[in-house]
């Protein structure tokens, strides 16, 4: 509770900060109670650790000539690549003598960069369009809803496969394309539905009466109220982006130097996937990493769902 007598003396930002901290505490409690959310968060933190540890290891223990994820090569083991896990290479080496663990850790960074960038673009576009559609309705609404139908119709991976013949897709371009495309997709429908429930609230009417412009109302009243849902969908979009990148890399369709998908692609194109159990270290670590990261972001999304959507909570 805010002691009422303090309002006059205390600066507004302090009160805001305290309110914010309080709602954060409450929401964190709900998130924690979902149990699956924290599990996802723990996995993500684990990957963050891997990401941070890589440059440190490269600077201290690992010799860059041997352990560089792209151009490294272990001369001491010539002829024995791909080598199974050993003390020198905890996850073994790939067919051309590079350290798997180093590749795995190094790629974490680009996966995060890709996933978060793409999801951020998606959410910014989706939130804005959702809010605009809900506020204005009419032709604008119809247009964007049909567009969303259309985007949902395209199997993403199929579309990107063609796009790749038109432009070379490096990491950032891929993030941009995926972000923009899914921003106009299903997310606008969901966010618009949410924005519609906000639009009928009395304070929107009050803001209109007070002479607020459409842009002002969208920015200050509608968008903040659909933000939690946007944030939630951002998590699902990270999953989607990481997954799509991995599949495309696996087929060798991307212009990326190293990623988890490419690691499996390397193993496959060198013919090591046929003998399945024999060269497990070539596919299992990157495969597991892709799965775990997608899994983790999805779980965090579901955990946030119980925070954002009161109907899913326990009574």
Partner 1 sequence: MLRYIGWRLAQISVTFFLFLTVVFLLFQAMPGDYTKQFIMNPRIPPEARRALQERLGLTGSVWDQYLHYVRNVFTGNLGISFQYYPREVWDVIKERLPRTAVLFLVADLLAFGVGYPLGKYIAWKRGKLSDYAVTVTGVLFYTIFTPLLALILLFVFSNVLGWFRSGGFLTPSVWLRPPVDPQVVFLLLAATIGGILALGGGIFFLTKRIGHPRPRNWARRSLILLLLACAALGWYRSGIGTYAWDIVWHMFLPVLAVTLISFGGTMLLMRDSMLEVIREDYITTAKAKGLPDKVVRDKHAARTALLPTITNFTIGLGFIVSGGIVTETMFSWKGMGLTYLEAVLQQDFPLAMGCLIFTGILVLLLHLVVDVLYAFLDPRISY
Partner 2 sequence: MPLLDVRNLTMHYVTKMGDVHAVDDVSFMIEAGEAIGLVGESGCGKTSIALTLLRLLPDNARFLGGQVLFEGKDLTHIPEEEMRKIRWRGISMIFQAAMNSLNPVYRVGDQIIEAIQNHLPISYREAKRRVSELFELVGLPPEVIDRYPHEYSGGMKQRAVIAMALACDPKLVIADEPTTALDVIVQDHILRRIDEVRKKLNMAMMYISHDIAVIAEVSQRLGVMYAGCLVEFGDTVTIFKRPAHPYTVALMSAFPSIKGEKRKLQGLPGEPPDLLQPPLGCRFHPRCAYATAICAQRAPRYEEIEPGHLVACWNPRSGRA
8 Å CB contact between 100 and 91: yes
One residue of 186, 207, 208, 228 binding partner 1 per CB under 8 A: 186
Is residue 307 classed as helix, strand or coil in its secondary structure? helix
One residue of 165, 200, 209, 211 binding partner 1 per CB under 8 A: 165
- Give the shortest CB-2-to-partner 1 separation in angstroms: 32
One residue of 10, 149, 170, 255 binding partner 1 per CB under 8 A: 149
Residue 72 token pair: 């490294």
Judged by beta carbon, residue 75 or residue 314, the one nearer partner 2 is 314
Residue 274 token pair: 């046929």
Q: Is 311 in the site for partner 2 (CB under 8 A)?
A: no
Q: Is 75 in the site for partner 2 (CB under 8 A)?
A: no
Backbone angles phi, psi at 93, to 5 degrees: -125, 160
Looking only at residues 25 through 54 of this chain, which bind partner 2 when binding is defined by CB under 8 A? 29
Q: Is 239 in the site for partner 1 (CB under 8 A)?
A: yes
Q: What is the DSSP string of 239-293?
A: HHHHHHHHHHHHTT-S--S--HHHHHHHHHHTT-SSSTTTTHHHHHHHHHHHHHH
Q: Is 315 in the site for partner 2 (CB under 8 A)?
A: yes
Q: What is the per-residue burial (b if ≥16 Cβ within 10 Å, else e) of 22-41?
A: eeeeeeeebbeebebbbebb
Which spans in 60-170 are helix H?
A: 64-67, 100-136, 138-153, 156-166
One residue of 102, 244, 259, 266 binding partner 1 per CB under 8 A: 244
Q: Is 272 in the site for partner 1 (CB under 8 A)?
A: no
Q: Is 247 in the site for partner 1 (CB under 8 A)?
A: yes
- Give the shortest CB-28-to-partner 2 separation in angstroms: 13
Is residue 25 classed as helix, strand or coil in its secondary structure? helix
- Give the shortest CB-187-to-partner 1 separation in angstroms: 9
Count Cβ atoms within 10 A of the Cβ of residue 162 and give its class: 0-12 exposed, 13-18 middle, 19 or more buried: exposed
Where on the chain is the footprint of partner 2 (CB under 8 A)? 29, 314-315
Where on the chain is the footprint of partner 1 (CB under 8 A)? 35-36, 39, 146, 149-150, 152-159, 161-166, 186, 189, 239-240, 243-244, 246-247, 250-251, 253, 264, 273, 276-277, 283, 287-288, 290-291, 294-295, 298-299, 302, 305, 309, 311-312, 314-315
């Amino acid at each position: 509770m805010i002691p009422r007598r303090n309002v006059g003396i205390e600066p507004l930002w302090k009160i805001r900060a305290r309110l914010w901290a309080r709602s954060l505490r409450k929401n964190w409690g709900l998130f924690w109670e979902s149990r699956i959310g924290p599990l996802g968060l723990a996995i993500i933190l684990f990957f963050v650790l891997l990401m941070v540890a890589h440059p440190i290891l490269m600077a201290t223990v690992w010799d860059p000539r041997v352990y560089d994820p792209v151009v490294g090569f272990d001369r001491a083991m010539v002829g024995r690549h791909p080598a199974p896990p050993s003390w020198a290479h905890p996850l073994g080496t790939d067919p051309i003598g590079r350290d798997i663990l180093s590749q795995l850790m190094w790629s974490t960074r680009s996966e995060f960069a890709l996933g978060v960038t793409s999801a951020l673009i998606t959410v910014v576009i989706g939130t804005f369009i959702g809010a605009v559609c809900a506020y204005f309705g009419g032709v604008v609404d119809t247009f964007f809803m049909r567009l969303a139908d259309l985007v949902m119709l395209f199997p993403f991976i199929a579309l990107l496969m063609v796009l790749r013949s038109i432009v070379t897709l490096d990491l950032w371009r891929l993030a941009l394309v995926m972000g923009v495309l899914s921003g106009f997709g299903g997310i606008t429908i969901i966010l618009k539905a949410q924005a519609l429930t906000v639009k009928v609230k009395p304070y929107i009417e009050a803001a209109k009466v007070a002479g607020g412009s459409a842009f002002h109302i969208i920015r200050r009243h509608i968008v903040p109220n659909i933000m939690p849902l946007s944030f939630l969908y951002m998590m699902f979009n990270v999953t989607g982006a990481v997954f799509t990148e991995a599949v495309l890399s696996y087929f060798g369709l991307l212009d990326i130097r190293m990623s988890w998908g490419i690691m499996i692609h390397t193993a496959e194109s060198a013919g090591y996937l046929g003998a399945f159990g024999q060269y497990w270290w070539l596919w299992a670590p990157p495969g597991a990493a892709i799965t775990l990261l997608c899994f983790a972001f999805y779980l965090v999304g579901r955990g946030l769902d119980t925070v954002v959507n009161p109907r899913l909570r326990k009574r």
